Chains A and B, each alone.
Chain A
C-alpha cells in the first residue's frame, strides 16, 4: 500500500491526513467549537480578511528581520573578535556560558521593567533570542580555523587581514550559517511571543485580539500563517545556503543538510 504512493507525494498525503483528523475532531465537536475551529471556518476567515492577516504577518516579519539582521552583524563581528583574542575569550568564558543558557523569553519581565511595553523592549528580546546561536557558532568556528589554517597562511605569507578575509571567515561560514538557521527559528518564536505579551502588533497581536473577541477561526488562521511563514523562511534560507556555500555541501562531505536530503 505505502509503495503505491510516490516518495514525493507522501508528505502531502501526511498533511491531508492531519487536516482530515483535525476536521473530524472539529465536526464531532470533541474539543468544543470555541477551542477548535473547523477547517472550512478557518479557510473562510482567511478568505474574508486576507489583508488583516497579511498586515499582521508583515508586522511580525519586519520586527523579526530587523532584529535578526542586528543580531547577525553583532554576533558575527563579536564572535570573530572574541575568538581571535585569547585573553578576551578566556575572560568572557563564563559570562558567555551563563548568558547563553538564559532563554530570551525569561528576560521579558526585566525588559518590561527597563523599557516598558515599547518597541525597544521588543527588539531587545528578539535580538537576545537570535544572538547566542550565531555568536557561539561563529566563535567556535573562528577559534578552530584560525589555528587549523595558521601554518598554511604563514607559508603563503598572508597578512592578518587577508588571512581573516580569505581563509578564516569563509572557512567558518558554514557553521555561522547553521547558527543563523537556529537563530531564525528562535527569533521568530520570540517575536510572536513578545507580541502576545505586549498585546498589539503583528501576528501575536492579531491572535490575542481574536481570542478576546472570541473569534476562534481567526486565531487558527493566524497561528497557521505564522507556521507557514516560518517554514517558508527556513526553506529560502536553506536554498540560499546551498547556493552560496556549495563548496561545503560538495559530494562526499557529510553535512546536516546532505544527511537530510539523503534521508
Chain B
C-alpha cells in the first residue's frame, strides 16, 4: 500500500518541503459581540522547519484556534506576518491543509466519503479526482467505505476521512486543531500513530494543537507552550525521543516522563512565576533542528 501511494502519491516526497514556515510577531485582536476588541494573540513568533512536527499546547481559551486560523490564512494578523519560504500566507494556500476539531462538522453529510475527500482536489478530471480520493481513503484504511456516508462511520473513522481529505492534495503543511479531542482514548492512540505514519511517509511539516501534554510529547519534534489569553509563547521543549515512536515503548521511556514534566511545568506555570524544579529551556529564538526523521515502517503499526 505504501509503495502504491508513493507512486500515485499526493506529494511526491520533497516537493516543497525545503521551505520553512515563519510566524513573526503576530498579533491579533477579535471584536466581541459588545463591540470592543479583545486581544487574543500578543506577539507570537516561531518557525517550523521543513518536515518538522511542532505541537502547540496551552490552556483552554488561550487563543490556539485563533493562532491556527491566522497561520492558515483564514484570519489576517493585525500585526506581524506568516511566511512560507518567501511567500506571504494569505487566504488558505493550496499546499496547506487543515483538520478541524469537530469532524462531524467538517464532513458534509450529503456527500459520500469519496466525494467529501475529493472536494479538496481541483484542477483535474473527475476520474482522476475520484481515483486520488479513493487512494487517500485507502491510505487511512477506509478504502471499503468510499461509497458510505460519513454518518455511517464511527467518530474515529470520520476523523480518518477528514485526515484523508487533508492529505489528498499536494500538502506541504498540515495544521491540526485538537484533531483527536472528540474520540475515545483507544481510537486516539491509533489516530496518533496513523498521523505519525503518514507524516513519516509523506514528509509534510505539521502543526498540532492539543490540550494533551502526553500527546504533544509523544508526537512532536518540539512542543511550544502558550500562555493564557492574550497568548504569547512561554517556552518550548525539544523532544529528543527516538523515532519511530511506539505507545508502549515511548511512553515508558524515562526520558518521556522528564519531557512530560518539563512541558507540564511550562503550561502550569502560566499566570504565575514558573515554580522551581522544572528547568526552562532556552529562548524560542533558536528553534531546535528537527531530529532526523525515521520512516515508520508499516510493520511497526499496531
Binding site for B on A (CB under 8 A): 151-152, 154-159, 162, 166-167, 170-171, 173, 245, 247-248, 250, 252
Contacts and interface: CB of A to CB of B under 8 A. Distances in A.
A154 B149 contact: no
Interface of B is mostly: loop
B110 A156 contact: no
Interface string B87-104: 000011010011010000
B109 A156 contact: no
B119 A166 contact: yes
Contact of A250 (B106, B109, B165): B109
Given A170-B108, A247-B149, A247-B151, A154 B94 contact: no
B151 A155 contact: no
B120 interface: yes
A41 B165 CA distance: 67
B257 to A, nearest CB: 37
Given A173-B110, A247-B109, A157 B98 contact: no
Contacts of B106: 152
B108 A155 contact: no
Contacts of B100: 152, 155
Contacts, number: 46
B258 interface: no
* Of A154, A157, A158, most B-chain CB atoms within 10 Å: A157
Interface in B57-109: 69, 72, 74, 91-92, 94, 97-98, 100, 105-106, 108-109
Kindly name the residue among A151, A158, A245, A250 whose own CB sees the greatest number of chain B CB atoms within 10 A.
Answer: A151
B74 A151 contact: yes
Contacts of B119: 156, 158, 162, 166
B91 A156 contact: no
Interface residues of B, number: 21
For the residues of A in contact with B, the DSSP-based class is helix
Contacts of B92: 154-155, 157
A171 B110 contact: yes
Interface of B: 69, 72, 74, 91-92, 94, 97-98, 100, 105-106, 108-111, 119-120, 122, 149, 151, 165
9 contacts: A156-B119, A166-B108, A170-B108, A170-B111, A171-B110, A245-B110, A248-B109, A250-B149, A252-B151
Contact of A157 (B69, B94, B110): B94
A156 B120 contact: yes
A155 B149 contact: no
Contacts of A158: 119
Nearest to B112: A247
A250 B149 CA distance: 10
A243 to B, nearest CB: 13
Given A170-B108, A171-B110, 4 more contacts: A152-B106, A158-B119, A159-B122, A252-B151
A75 B151 CA distance: 31
A247 B110 contact: yes
B67 to A, nearest CB: 15
Given A166-B119, A247-B149, A247-B151, A154 B74 contact: yes
> Which 4 pairs across A and B sit closest by C-beta, in order of nearness?
A170-B110, A247-B109, A155-B98, A247-B110
Max chain B Cβ within 10 angstroms of own Cβ: one of A156, A167, A248: A156
A4 to B, nearest CB: 40
B134 to A, nearest CB: 18
